[in-house]
Amino acid sequence: MKHEIKGECMCGAVKVSATTSDPALRACHCEMCRRQNSYAFVSLQADQESIRITGPVTVLKSSDWAQRAFCSKCGSTIWYGLQEDGHRNLSAGLFPKTGTALMTEYFTDECLLGNGFPGDHEKLTRNETFALFAPSEGDAK
pLDDT along the chain (141 residues), means of 10: 93 97 85 84 92 97 89 96 88 83 84 78 87 61 35
Burial grade of 65 (CB within 10 A; 0-12, 13-18, 19 or more)? middle
The pLDDT assigned to 140 comes to 38
Q: Which amino acid is at 139?
A: D
| pLDDT reported for residue 115 | 67
pLDDT at 130: 84
What's the CATH code, domain 3-140?
Answer: 2.170.150.70
Cα of first residue to Cα of last residue in the chain, in angstroms, is 40
Backbone angles phi, psi at 34, to 5 degrees: -65, -40
pLDDT at 34: 85
How many other β-carbons are positioned within 10 Å of the β-carbon of residue 67? 16
> 97 and 35 in contact (C-beta within 8 Å)?
no
